[in-house]
Every structure is written in C-alpha cells, then in structure tokens.
Amino acid sequence: MSDLTHLSLRKLRRLMISGEVRPEEVTAAFLARAEARNSCDLSYVSIGAEHALSRAGMVEQAGALGRLAGIPFSCKDVFDTVTLPTTAGSRVMHDYRPLRDARALQRLEAAGAILLGKNNLHEFCYGITGANPIFGTPANPHDPGRLAGGSSSGSAVAVANRTAMFALGTDTGGSVRVPASLCGLVGFKPTRGQISLKGVVPFCWSLDHVGILARSCGDATEVFLAVREADEAILAANADHAERGNSLHGLRIGVPRGAYLENVASDIALRVQQLIAECRRLGAHIVEVVMPDATHVRTASLAVQLVEAFAWHRTNLQRRFDLYGEDVREGLLQGQFILAEHYVQALRLIAAKQAEVSERLKDIDVLMTPTTPVVAPELDQRRVTLAGVEVPVGNALSHFTCLFNLTGHPALSVPIGRDGDGLPVGLQLIGAHHRDTKLLSIGTALERAGLAGWIEPNDEMDDGVCMAPTRSEQRELHTH
C-alpha cells in the first residue's frame, strides 16, 4: 500500500473500518515520519511514541470505534497532558504537571484519535511569527528560509509535512489561520466557545479560541464534529447547512468594497480576484460589503491581550523573570502600564465591532478576504512593505485576521494557490456566529470546484536533505 501518511482522514478511517490497515500501522507510519523529520523541521517539542502505540492498540482492540478512531494527531504545547510535558514553549513551565488532559483532548480521545506529541510554538503564544529561541523556530515546509507563521507554528508544520493527520492550535489574533495560510493548509477558528479552552494555558481569556489545522475542509469538519462543545439549539441550527458543500451556485459571497485589496501583495490580490471571478461563473452572487472601520481594532486587541496576559503571568514574572524569552518578557511587562479606562474602552469597541460584523453578515452567506496580505516572510525579516509603507511583520500577518477574534465569528483559511515564487496564498472565509459547519461546507465547495486545496511541499527530507537550520544551529545564532 502507498504511504499511509498521504491518505486523507476519511480514507484512513475507511481502510481501518474494513480491516485493510490497523490503527497501530497508521500510528507507526506517522511516528516514524515525525521522529525522522523533527530535528530538521522542529515541529514537535515532545513525541510520545510509546503511549501513542499503546493507545492505538487499545483502539484496535475496541474495534476502531469512534468518529476519529485510529487517526494520529498532534497539539500545540499549551494543551494540558498528563503523559507529556506541557511547556507553552517556555522554560518557565519546566515543573508544571497537569492533573488531567485538556477538555478538547479528552473529547478527541473519546472519539478514538491518537495523540502523537506536542507541537512547538511562539513562547506563550506571544507572537504571530512562530519564532522560538528556546526550542527553535519551525521552518516553513515550502521554503526553510521563511517563517511558518505563529503562534501555532509547529502544529502547521506537522500537518503540512505529514507528521500528523491534523493538529489543534490556538488563535488569539490569527494564530491558526496565519500559519495555515503561510504553509498551504486549512486553518479553522470556530465560533468562540465551540471548542473548550478548559485545560489550555491561556494567553488572553477574552480573545483565545481553539482551532484546527488540517489538509482539507473535509478533514477539519470531521475533527470539529468530534471535538466541539455545543448545546442542542446550536447543533440543530448547524444541521440545516451540513450538506451545503455540494455547490457554489446561489451562494451569496460578500467581498470588501473599494480599495480593500490595495494593501495586499499583487500576487495575492490577483489570486483572490481570480477566485471571485470563478465563483461568479459557477453561479455565486458577489455582494460588495462596506467593511467596519478597523482603525482602532489592533490597538483594542493589544490593550486586552496585554492586560490579561500580564494578569496571568504576574507571579511568574516576579519569581522566574530570567526564564522568559526577552521578547515575551518585554511584551508582557507592558500590560502593567495599561489603565483600567483603556481596558474598558477596548471592551466597548470589541462589542461594537461584534455588532457591526454580525450586521454585515445578515444578508450574505460568507465574507471573503485574503488571510494575510503577504506570503511567508524570511526567517530574519522584521518589516514588510505594503502599498509603499513599511510595517512590522507581525502587524502585516494579522492584518485581516485580528478583527474576527474580537468579534468571535467563525473564520476559515483555505489555500488557493501559489504566488510567483511558489509560496502558498490563503483565502479567509468568515461566517455568522454558530454557523461553523456551514462555513466549513463552503470551504468544501471551493475544494470540490478546484478553487482551493492543500498545497503539498516539496519533500526534501525524503532524500535525506535537511535545508532548515537545526535546533542547535538556531541556538548558536541566538547567542551570537
């Protein structure tokens, strides 16, 4: 049989249900690949091979029951686990020992999924680039000299490099959708609260979301249906849209009016415009939408993030100051200087933007934007130029994603091709609150129409070549 890591989630499930392959075989295939590649791509902080194989054996003995039975996955190292360390990408957490697994992982285990290991990340999720001076910076699978995006960097790299079937990440300003876009994957941030944050090391309680990284919207849907937390009314509302993915015909797609694409790299703007034209040709209705004023969105997001992050880290900053990475430590300390008035005003702006976005979505099925205005920046790049203006890389990468963490709407990034240098381009789809399955089905419709789909990297490692700086090489660069 061909390499099991190449198959889709649903194909693997069918093979295991029919008995053609065993859960232990599938788990062993992903583990072998993960262990072979990790010194190069730095996607894992820890791999639990023994426990994973044991769990696969238990799933097999139980008859491979459950929606995700036998499917290997990984998670960002902010999810509490009893069998593996939980570091949040930091030395600060070296002695942290959770008493139980995170709620989302419990739900995946109940569905039969197999946890392979914990993924690398930007320390404490404090950054959109994915850089980590302690565990190394995961390399972009399409160009090892470029960033994979963050903060869920390792999770994206693991899925793109086929060392996990899917991965859980977290998203506070774009930290699932941005690495998905830069790595050619599907990145799904559900409606806030649809996946439990219980047992997840927080960054910002008000804006954190758990998200899913996968190779297709179909795979992401299977994971979401297994892991979501929802009451019966929400489940019923979503059920009406479960089969929407068959066609784009009649779909009402909202696109930003005016000069919204001017601050976007030309290749990205072109891909988005081509996709919109194809959707129209296939029978979709394109509706121009006036976007909410985003002038103060990033400021409001930072005000809430810094205050809430400082509140959580206050004790550790006093006791373990030197264990923090310099960029994270300096950022967190800013939180103590934000006044209560600023925090309250930020929350008021967030409420206003939530209402504005909901109003825009009343007359359309989905809102469509680029995921990022640029493709993957180089590893050491600090600024990018948009419409002739230089801006910090982090500001650019979260330009289109940040708003929808404030509003809590479900948002999905799907890959829609490459730029002129062969780097992935992502498209962001935003839906109404609690229409998560509808949004995923629209992504599936784009895939079925050939307008979106996983962009597989060139597999340099299959030839025994590691093009990215190793973890030890990166540490030398950070110390000189």
Sign, CA dihedral 46-51-57-62, equals negative
Looking at the DSSP bridge assignments, the partners of residue 411 are 189, 430
Spatial separation of the C-alpha atoms in residues 100 and 448, rounded to whole Å: 40
Structure tokens at 420: 């002129």
Could you report the per-residue pLDDT of 77-114, keeping only the tens digit for each? 999 999 999 999 999 999 999 999 999 999 999 999 99
Q: Three-state SS across the chain? A: CCCHHHCCHHHHHHHHHHCCCCHHHHHHHHHHHHHHHHHHHCCEEEECHHHHHHHHHHHHHCCCCCCCCCCEEEEECCECCCCCCCCCCCHHHCCCCCCCCCHHHHHHHHCCCEEEEEECCCHHHCCCCCCCCCCCCCEECCEEEEECCCCCHHHHHHHHCCCCCEEEEEECCCCCHHHHHHHCCEEEECCCCCCCCCCECCCCCCCCEEEEEECCHHHHHHHHHHHCCCCHHHHHHHHCCCCHHHCCCCCEEEEECCCCCCCCCHHHHHHHHHHHHHHHHCCCEEEEECCCCCCCHHHHHHHHHHHHHHHHHHHHHHHCHHHCCHHHHHHHHHHHHCCHHHHHHHHHHHHHHHHHHHHHHHHCCEEEEECCCCCCCECCCCEEEECCEEEEHHHHHCCCCCHHHHHCCCEEEEEEEECCCCCEEEEEEECCCCCHHHHHHHHHHHHHCCCCCCCCCCCHHHHCCCCCCCHHHHHHHHCC
Residue in this structure with the two tokens 């996709």, named with its chain if needed: 275
Residues across the chain: 480
Query: Which one is predicted more confidently, 479 or 154?
Result: 154
- Tell me which residue of 2, 28, 34 sits closest to 15, measured CA to CA: 2
List the catalytic residue out of 46, 90, 151, 441: 151
Mean pLDDT of the chain: 93
Tell me what pLDDT residue 480 has: 40
CATH class of 7-456: alpha beta
Could you report the per-residue pLDDT of 366-380, keeping only the tens digit for each? 999 999 999 999 999
| Percentage of the chain lying above the pLDDT 70 cut | 92
List the catalytic residue out of 46, 76, 438, 441: 76
pLDDT higher than 80, residue 241? no
Could you report the per-residue pLDDT of 157-203, keeping only the tens digit for each? 999 999 999 999 999 999 999 999 999 999 999 999 999 999 999 99
| Percentage of the chain lying above the pLDDT 90 cut | 88
What is the average per-residue pLDDT within 412-426? 98
Burial of 57 (0-12, 13-18, 19+ CB in 10 A): middle
What is the pairing mode between strands 285-289 and 366-370? unpaired
Clarify whether 175 is annotated catalytic. Answer: yes
Tell me what pLDDT residue 472 has: 55
List the catalytic residue out of 90, 175, 181, 441: 175
pLDDT higher than 90, residue 263? no
What is the average per-residue pLDDT within 419-446? 97
Structure tokens at 230: 């929802």
Spatial separation of the C-alpha atoms in residues 154 and 43, rounded to whole Å: 4
